[in-house]
Structures are given as structure tokens and as C-alpha cells.
Amino acid sequence: MSQKTATSYGQVIEYIQDRLYLASYTHPPDAHTPFPYPSKQAKTPSKRSARQQGPVASATKLKAPVYFSIDRSLLYNAFHADFGPLHIGHLYRFAVQLHDVLGDPANADRGVVFWSNADSRSRANAACLLACYMVLIQSWPPHLALAPIAQMDPPCMPFRDAGYSQADYVLNIQDVVYGVWKAKEEGICSLKSFSLEEYEKFERVDMGDFNWLTPDFLAFASPQHAPTHVISPTSPLWEKLPKTVSEVVRSKELPTPFKNVLAHFSTKNIGLVVRLNSELYSPSYFTALGIQHLDMIFDDGTCPPLHLVRTFVNLAHEMISVRNKGIAVHCKAGLGRTGCLIGAYLIYRHGFTANEIIAFMRFMRPGMVVGPQQHWLHLNQGTFREWWFEDSIKDKLAALQPSTPTRGHKQRLASNGQTFTPPNGSQRRAALGEITTNGERAVSASLGVNDENLPAPTPGQPRKTSKIYGAASRHGSPQRSQPQDQEPYVRPDTEIMAVQRAGQGESESEEEYQLRMLAKRAASRSPNSKSPTSHGTGSKRRAVSCTTTTTTMQTTQEWVGGESDIENRVNRPKTPGSSSKSGNGSLSLGKVRSSPTRRSTESKTTISGVRKTSGRVGSMGSGSKVR
């Protein structure tokens, strides 16, 4: 008799009063679904109007709201355990559907309920999509877009990366909204120049698998085509390379994805292609079209060293600001390593936070920045902003004109006395001599952070097709290659240090040093050394030496030469700057001097006449440098 109605899960949130709502239901809602918002009340009449007009109806009943959802039409293509956020193509289609519902004359006086399924993932995607719509299309400030959903009950599930390891870094809706808003404010994200047709076409693996992140950066997966070596202009193969877009289109040897990449790059003013993975194609296909190609290869699933990031930032900034051309970056899948370098530059140039830039890049190309690379961006974001500050200050100071000192300043200079040249002075000292500039900085090859603060590399990297990994990637992580000798792995956390009480001069020989130390010991005997102690034992100097030997290990892996790629190899966690070293360090404890005050307070000797050792730690002097 009674029809089964849908029950609301959580809250029905009002975004625009009496017009737009956000809700979630365990069953598809219909006209019989209870709507918690009351009917519109008529204006309360005043006493004077009530006498003149008589009784007025207490309320006017509203029409039932209209419901619509995207859970079955706009689906997220997950790599592994990730579920969102939905990308910019989803937002475009959602906006078109929402405007159709709002603009329908039949819904002019009805509320519109955008609903999702009751699970936490669907609720998170729906709330995030609606908030991004308000920011990017309706130009709401982020705080207004986030206010209705900030206290959702129950809360939404945070977003995770596309890797195969356990999630240890999450993003929430606020990160995505602020990332999209920041990109809009910086002028690098706009729907006015967005082409939905191109986006949905070229994001497919069989059509090229590339996406524009900003007007200057394109991320794409590595093309695969033989040969993979550089083709010399004197080689017969050079004549077969396509030199124009029309020749690329007519080529029958190139696969369709590679053909789309070459044609699109030539027509969209790409000036530089940066490859981060091993060679799977010949760079001569790009150089023949007038596009520069650069290899900056580092291991799959790892984080780039800072000196490589600094080099990439300099090249990218020159290509964008000076040559006014775009940059295309790729690794094997165009997700992890690609997101590291592009994200570092966008933080450097536009001041994003790590969470904002990761969220924005995933909004433009799902799956970007994987595993420990998220922590790496978070820990180094301050360094990337410092680079921009230093470069900006350097340019501003270089543009300043030298000013003539005032009269009072000249008098102060004349009273300074005799001037002298400081030792080891530099004749080429710049205006920023006290500041280590980016151009002169010797950036270490480390990751910029302690290796212990980064999780281990993930066992496998996400791909848009799982056939590369086979059954092993779907049911478990690949097995790590074990060394032949089953020795336990020792983490090289310590360096070899030698601590001595006194240092030896560079011009002093070993014999002179020993004689000087013997003379020093004879001259500094204890005042009570001549007096016999109890039981007739003399106070002899007791020397205690400790020898510490520390050995660090370095594991080297050799790869089979027959493989064409280095992408899916599992690496041990690396400690930056570690090397195989061993050494001995000697530590000697100084003498214990007795004094009348100490003799009166200390008790006491044992039956054999040996004084108890105190808990005080003697100073070791200055340690020698670590070599």
C-alpha cells in the first residue's frame, strides 16, 4: 500500500536559499521523498494591515523539488584505490547539466537538489564538485563555497593518491577548492579557453594520454616507438623522419598516440620536451620538428634531487618568460615524476602550497604525484618559494642605480681610520655577497630533506592500463629482489668520526707531538699525586680509552641489460650522501683532579682504597672534523 521512500543520509545542505541544495540518499529520491526544509511562510502582517485586510493564510505550500545526480553519468576512472577528485572535464559537464535544470521553465519556482549516493566517497566527490563549480564558474570566494559543507555530518572521506601502497597523505575538499581558486586567480585555469572535446580525446591512452595543466605546461605519458637512439642528421634514417605536421599525419610507421603527440605539440607552440624516464623512443622525432628535447632521468617512484629541480626551474622559467613557448614533461605514465617537477615550478612561480598544487594538478590530470613524492613536495615547498624570492630580489637589486653618498655619510667614512683588505677577499664580489644566490649555490644531490621523513618508494606506479604489471600488481606488490648473501640490511645512519682531546698541527711531526703531550702530562700532575693514599697505594693516573668502529654499507643493484625500461624496478630506500666508509675513532677521558672541597664532600673510598667514580661526565675537548 505504502510506497517505499528514499531516506536521507546525513544533511540536506542549502547552498542557495530556496533554490539549490546538496544531499545524499540511500535510494534514488522521488516525489514522495521527505524534504526537510519548510514551506515558504507568508509575510507576517502588521496590526494595522491585519485590521484592514482580515485574516491571512498562514503559509503557501511550495512545489516538490527536482532531483538530479551524476553518480551514473560522470564516473571517475580509478587507478587503484583512489576515487577522486573529479577532473575539470567532469566539472564542465556538471555545469552544463546544472544550468539545463536551473534554466528549465518548469523548474522556475522549484528547488533543485543535487544528490549523491550515501557512501563517503560519492558524497566527497559531489560536495567537492559543487564547491569547485561555485568558485570557478560562479566566482564565489572559497570561504563561501566551503561554508555549507565545512561541518558535514558525517564528514566526507579525504582523497588519496593513485599508488598501490597504503595511503599516508590525504587531501580534503578545502585543498581542492583553494587549489582551483588559486589557479584561477593566477590566470592559469579558466573554462573560457577550455576545450572539452580535446580534453576527453587526448586523455585516452590510445590517443596520446596527455593533458594541459596550465597554459604553459603539458603532462603526458611516454610514447613508445622504435628506434630509441638519437638519429644523426647524416644517417639515412634522418630523411625518413617527418619534418612537418602534414608529414606526421601522413606517416604510416608512427602509432596513433605518438602521431597525435607530435602533431599537437607542433601546432600548440611546444618549445621543450623533458623526458624523466628511460629511452622508449628516439628524441630525433621531436628535434626534426624544431622542438628541443632534454633528458633528466631519475628512478620511477622516487623524488628528484634538488640540483635537478633547480636546473628544471631555470630552464622552464626561461622557456616561458623569455621565449614564450610551452613545456611538455613526461615520465613513464606522466603522473609521479612529472608532477614533482611541474609542481615544484608552480610553487616557485605562483606560491601554491603543496596541498593546493597537488590537488590542482589532479583536478587537471587525475593521478598526479604518487606516494613519497607528496611528502617531498610538502617538505620542500618552502625551498621553492625561497628560490623565487631570491631571484626576484636579485633582479630588483640589479636594476637599482648607485646613489651618491650624502655629506654626513662621507664624514663618517673619513673617520673610520685606516682601511685594509680583508683576507681571502674576492675581486668579483657581487652586491649580494652575504647571500648565497641560486646561481652560485652548490646544491647538494640530496632530496632536500632527511630520508627518514619520506616513506619508502611505492612497490609499483599507477598506469592507465594494468596489463603491464600482470596478476602480481593486482593481487599484491611485487617481490623485492633479495641479495645473494642473506646479511641483514644495516641503515647507514652514522658517519665515521674521530674525537681527540688535542689536535696536532699541520707542520708538527708525530714525534714532536708525542713529546709535547708527555711534557704537558708531567707539568700537570695532580697536587696530591705525591702523597700516598690509604693502604699504601700511590695515586697513579688512570687512562681509559674507548675505540669505536662504525661500518656503513651501500647496496648496489645491477639491472639486466635486456630490459627496455627502468620503470617498475623496486629500489631500496636510499640515504642521500651515504658512502661505504669505515674507520676507527679514539676517545680518551681526562684526569680527575682532586680538591679539598671535593675531598670533604665525597666519601669515600671502598675497602680496597679505590674512590668511587662520580656520575659527572668529563669534557672531551674539540673534536676533529669529519672527513
Sheet holding 13-16, edge to edge: 13-16, 20-25, 112-117, 66-68
Question: What per-residue confidence (pLDDT) applies to 454?
Answer: 75
Question: What per-residue confidence (pLDDT) applies to 516?
Answer: 78
Residue 297 burial by Cβ neighbours in a 10 Å radius (0-12, 13-18, 19+): middle
Cβ atoms < 10 Å from Cβ of 490: 10
C-beta of residue 498 within 8 angstroms of C-beta of residue 584: yes
Instruction: Out of 2.40.160.50, 3.40.50.620, 3.90.190.10, 3.30.930.10, select the CATH number for domain 13-39+62-158.
Output: 3.90.190.10
C-beta of residue 278 within 8 angstroms of C-beta of residue 297: yes
| Residues labelled catalytic | 331
Cβ atoms < 10 Å from Cβ of 267: 9
Question: What per-residue confidence (pLDDT) applies to 568?
Answer: 54
Q: Please, what is the angle between helix 88-103 and helix 120-136, to 10°?
A: 80
Structure-derived torsion over alpha carbons of residues 420, 425, 431, 436, reported in degrees to the nearest 10: -140
Task: Take residue 320 and report the three cell numbers written for it.
Answer: 616561458
Cα–Cα nearest to 375, from 459, 463, 462, 449: 449
How far apart CA 372 and CA 574 sit, in angstroms, is 12
Residues in the chain where the model's pLDDT stays below 50: 1-2, 42, 50, 56-59, 429-435, 439-440, 442-445, 466-502, 528-541, 544, 552, 555-566, 569-627
- The residue behind cell 645491477 is 558
How far apart CA 21 and CA 111 sit, in angstroms, is 7
C-beta of residue 384 within 8 angstroms of C-beta of residue 347: yes
Task: Take residue 523 and report the three cell numbers written for it.
Answer: 707539568
How far apart CA 197 and CA 188 sit, in angstroms, is 19
Does domain 195-394 fall under CATH 3.90.580.10? My reply is no
Question: What per-residue confidence (pLDDT) applies to 511?
Answer: 74
Cα–Cα nearest to 305, from 415, 206, 199, 447: 447
How far apart CA 278 and CA 608 sit, in angstroms, is 74
Region(s) of the chain under CATH 3.90.190.10: 13-39+62-158, 195-394
- The residue behind cell 566526507 is 156
How far apart CA 329 and CA 530 sit, in angstroms, is 80
